[in-house]
Amino acid sequence: MKILTLLFTLLTCQVYAQEVIEKVQNYRKANEHKLLKEYLQLLSIPNIASDSAHILKNADFIMGLMREKGIEKVQLLDAGKTETFAPPAIYGEVNVPNAKRTIIFYAHYDGQPVNPLQWSQGLSPFSPVFTDQSLEKEGKIIPIPTENEAINPEWRIYARSTSDDKGGVFSILNAYYALVKSGIKPTSNIKFFFEGEEEAGSAHLGKILEKYKNLLKSDLWIILDGPVHQSGRKQVVFGVRGDVNMSIKVFASKRPLHSGHYGNWAPNPAMQLVHLLASMKDETGKVLIDGFYDDVTPLSATEKQALAQVPSVDEQMRSELGFAKPEGGGISLVEAISLPSLNINGIQSANVGPMAANVIPTTATVVLDLRLVKGNDYVRQVEKVVNHIRKQGFFVTEEDPTEEERMKYPLIAKVSTKGGYNAQRTPMDLPIAQQVVKAVQSTSKEPIVLLPSSGGSLPLYLFEKHLNTPTITVGIPNHDNNQHAENENIRIQNLWNGIETVAALMTMK
């Protein structure tokens, strides 16, 4: 019932803050070239979390932008003493007299690792270019528009983090500045928090939140990350799946062998890994690991109702992505992302293509991505997988095997995990949640999509754990942005929409 009430409220709110949006739009229209020029500069700085020099360069650049825009107390938030490099978060704030509340806007400035060889011709992860359309729709690279040229909002910018998540940083900073330049006061105190190692698993985020607990006091975190809905509608997301990566490396002979002289006799680690992986999932996509689907907290009635309202995009996506049959044995995309998942991110043993050689490889490696839903615990979920590996006869180790282990165990798997955190869901009926929904709806003529949980992940449980503060996620980029992969891009209209969405949130009733 609650969800129906909520939807009704939404539809009566179309004109909410219409004036704010118009002013912000006018500011943007007058400054498009300047906005994009600044954005291209930001995109040109490599931002892999482990690349400390460049990460700090990104932070410097962003802090410069913040100061220019009049944001106060701009500073780096560090994780204290750490064993390895911990990318700092960037902080800033704006205090508004008589503000009702404090909202922290979150985005992250680091990006996923890149393999430049996999990017299409003419593209390079940190040399942004414009195209007249998405590459999948035969888009062509076009020159960077000159000052006098009109910018077509259907154009795209290709570079790492255009969408994920420098687009979030862009929207937040420029929404704020558009308000300043339009003479509009935010209705909340605003804090800015830009994380620097989200794509590396946010290993130090908890430490930072704990260390700067007082500075980070607020009523709500609004997370700018992830795309709008595949239907093109804006969406508000109330939770995220948890995530943990596992790397499994299988060891056979100590040196690579001629496949003729030893083929069919010396064990092949790729074949051993293949058997192991095949045992993990059946051909419909069901995970066969014992207890994999246990622990799942059922959706609430409100959440179930919300899910039922989400426009189905299954057929659209199937056709857009070009495949005949989804995994999952018939469940829909929204159902699939409400379940824990096991996905192969990458697999490699020796070489394929021009570098392939007639060898028996020495090792074979797979990287798995486990997504978790509310109720799952990431440590427990990894344990289930490790137990499964053992049940298939493998000796499981965390180090490269010793000579003795090699001679003792016919099957050897080195397992390591990276990152890891649990899912999080904010109740959809919190009063502040309803304010957010109204604000986002005010920027859109079509009904926006309300999703109890994204399929993607962010370490949002940390905000609950360390700060006891709810989080709500608002997407900005187009869904076909290739985030996490080669050819990442953003549609320019989505950048413009992002500014409006955030401006509405900064001025919400």
Site for a second copy in 116-145 (CB under 8 A): 136
Among 99, 142, 215, 266, binds a second copy (CB under 8 A): 266
- The interface with a second copy within residues 85-114 (CB under 8 A) comprises 112-114
Closest CB to a second copy among 93 and 197?
197
Query: Does 267 contact a second copy by CB under 8 A?
Result: yes
Which residues make Cβ contacts (< 8 Å) with residue 148, sequence separation at least 6? Answer: none
CB 241 within 8 A of CB 452: no
Of 453, 479, 447, the residue nearest 307 (C-alpha):
453
User: In the complex, what is the shortest distance from the CB of residue 333 to a second copy, in angstroms, rounded to a whole number?
Assistant: 5
Query: Does 295 contact a second copy by CB under 8 A?
Result: no
Among 186, 456, 459, 498, binds a second copy (CB under 8 A): 456
User: In the complex, what is the shortest distance from the CB of residue 49 to a second copy, in angstroms, rounded to a whole number?
Assistant: 11
Please give the helix or strand (H or E) that residue 249 lies within, else none. Answer: strand 242-251
- The interface with a second copy within residues 47-66 (CB under 8 A) comprises 50
CB 258 within 8 A of CB 358: yes
Of 217, 227, 101, 105, the residue nearest 169 (C-alpha):
105
Closest CB to a second copy among 11 and 356?
356
Signed CA dihedral, 15, 21, 26, 32: sign only? negative
Q: Tell me the per-residue interface mask from 459 to 478 with a second copy, x by CB under 8 A, - otherwise.
A: --------------------
| Ramachandran quadrant class, 23 (left: phi over 0; alpha: psi -120 to 50; beta: rest) | alpha
User: In the complex, what is the shortest distance from the CB of residue 404 to a second copy, in angstroms, rounded to a whole number?
Assistant: 10
Among 139, 232, 326, 427, binds a second copy (CB under 8 A): 326
What single-letter amino acid sits at 138? E
- The interface with a second copy within residues 331-390 (CB under 8 A) comprises 331-333, 336-337, 339, 341-361, 364-367, 369, 371
Query: Does 482 contact a second copy by CB under 8 A?
Result: yes
Q: State the residue for tokens 């040229």.
A: 149
54 burial class (0-12, 13-18, 19+ CB within 10 angstroms)? Answer: middle
Query: Does 226 contact a second copy by CB under 8 A?
Result: yes
- Cβ neighbour number for residue 456 with a 10 Å cutoff: 19
Please tell me the distance from the alpha carbon of residue 320 to that of residue 326, in angstroms, as a whole number.
Answer: 13
What does DSSP assign to residue 375? T
Closest CB to a second copy among 39 and 119?
119
Query: Does 288 contact a second copy by CB under 8 A?
Result: no
Query: Does 491 contact a second copy by CB under 8 A?
Result: no
Among 11, 83, 255, 308, binds a second copy (CB under 8 A): 255
Among 124, 133, 245, 316, binds a second copy (CB under 8 A): 245
Please give the helix or strand (H or E) that residue 494 lies within, else none. Answer: helix 492-506
Closest CB to a second copy among 121 and 214?
121
Phi, psi of 360 (to 5 degrees): -100, 115
